[in-house]
Amino acid sequence: MALAKRIIPCLDVDAGRVVKGVQFVDIRDAGDPVEIARRYDQEGADEITFLDITASSDERETMAHVVEQVAGEVFIPLTVGGGIRTTDDIRRMLNAGADKVGINTAAIFNPDFVREAAERFGSQCIVVSIDAKTVSAEDEAPRWEIFTHGGRKPTGIDALAWAVKMQEYGAGEILLTSMDRDGTKRGFNLPLTAAVSAAVHIPVIASGGVGNLDHLVDGITKGHADAVLAASIFHFGEYSIGQAKQHMAEAGIEVRL
């Protein structure tokens, strides 16, 4: 009798299509988001996250429409991130059927937005996304900083202090992406994940760098994450969600089978 660690497939959606970039550059088309979400649900995904990477704001409605279609037939928690800047953006996604929204850049420019969003909609639906990169040299004590613009722009904000601050502002969960690992298939940044998980009392989702099923196990056992998020290993049929769960269960991790 224990809470299961969650496996969350993430769909990067550009203008209504699922894509996955390697460090945000080489983008491959992986298909129809509604069809893929349906498949993940059948395979036993614990939640599904949609990341709207559409550059233009005219395509925002496309994302809401995708969520609406998925929410009509997939009855597990759905999170939408990307381009969430105002309470109206949040309301639109919740009305479309999302259960949680991910706030990233908007929180950095205006931390009070997180507080306002949590007060208005409840902490349970506010996920703060943190994109962090290691900034310390190899012989130094590790330090991680928040980056924006797909990992290109440093902000000078310390990742651990930021996670604690976002918890205080009402975040219900943290989606932690290691920007030096994202798309590399070399596994999560485990020291970063463990440090953030120890610094906050809200759940932490590890993201960025999953290349095989052992990486998912490490995220839980070594990174002490509460959930693991991955995109490309699931989209291109390398592994099914079922295989991932089986592998985690064999490693002694509590999962929903």
Partner 1 sequence: MTSIAIIDYGMGNLHSISKALEHAAPDARVEVTADHGRIRDADRVVFPGVGAIRDCMAELKRYDLVETIRSAASEKPFLGICLGMQALLDHSEENGGIPCLGIIEGEVRYFGERPRDPTSGEILKVPHMGWNQVRHRREHPLWQGIPDNDRFYFVHSYYVEPANPDDTVGAAEYSREFAAAVARDSLFAVQFHPEKSQHAGLRLLANFAAWDGQP
Among 15, 27, 76, 251, binds partner 1 (CB under 8 A): 76
Among 6, 20, 181, 235, binds partner 1 (CB under 8 A): 6
Question: Helix (H, G, I), strand (E, B), or coil: what is residue 127?
Answer: strand
Return the number of the residue (101 or 192) whose C-beta is nearest partner 1.
101
Catalytic site residue from 41, 52, 99, 131: 131
Single-letter amino acid code for the residue at 17:
R
Find tokens 């994450």 and name the residue: 225
Assess 25 for contact with partner 1 (CB under 8 A). Answer: no
How far apart CA 224 and CA 23 sit, in angstroms, is: 24
* Contact mark string toward partner 1, 148..187, x via CB under 8 A: ------------------------xx--------------
Return all residues near 62 (Cβ < 8 A) that are at least 6 apart. Answer: 13, 15, 16, 54
| Residues between 31 and 70 that touch partner 1 (CB under 8 A) | 41, 46
Single-letter amino acid code for the residue at 252:
G
Return the number of the residue (14 or 226) whose C-beta is nearest partner 1.
226
Whether 12 is catalytic is yes
Assess 99 for contact with partner 1 (CB under 8 A). Answer: yes
| Virtual torsion, Cα 13, 17, 22, 23, nearest 10 deg | -30
Whether 131 is catalytic is yes
Among 11, 30, 37, 125, binds partner 1 (CB under 8 A): 125
Return the number of the residue (67 or 159) whose C-beta is nearest partner 1.
67
Among 29, 35, 61, 73, binds partner 1 (CB under 8 A): 73
Residue among 57, 60, 51 nearest 103 (CA): 51
Single-letter amino acid code for the residue at 47:
E
